[in-house]
Amino acid sequence: MIELEVYACGLRTNDCILQLQSQMDIIPEARYKVDANHDLVYFEIDQPGTITQRQIARVFEVIGLEPRFVGQIPAGIPLGEDTMRLE
């Protein structure tokens, strides 16, 4: 199991938490808990390598927040890419 913490300034404003919940439906591999008082989201991922840092960041970017990973990112979470290589 991998644990990851993300800070997203403005998470507690308006309906960002509800939007986050709907975005997290597309990443069923991750469990999460929101600390709205501190704009933090704690993630737990059972299977390393099934989700990338880019996928996690994208969840926040879609709702207009800038995610910042707190602490050292575990080695089991690959960076991921924005584009796919053409064959």
Encode pLDDT of 30-77 as tens digits. Answer: 899 999 899 999 999 888 788 888 989 999 999 999 999 998 888 878
pTM greater than 0.85: no
- pLDDT score for 13: 82
Whether the pLDDT of residue 5 is over 90: the answer is: yes
Position 59, amino acid: V
Radius of gyration for the chain, computed over Cα atoms and rounded to the nearest angstrom: 13
Are the beta carbons of 2 and 77 closer than 8 angstroms?
yes
- pLDDT score for 1: 86
Whether the pLDDT of residue 24 is over 70: the answer is: yes
Whether the pLDDT of residue 84 is over 60: the answer is: no
Tell me the average pLDDT across 3-11.
93
- Burial class of residue 85 in the structure, from the number of CB atoms within 10 Å of its CB (0-12 exposed, 13-18 middle, 19+ buried): exposed
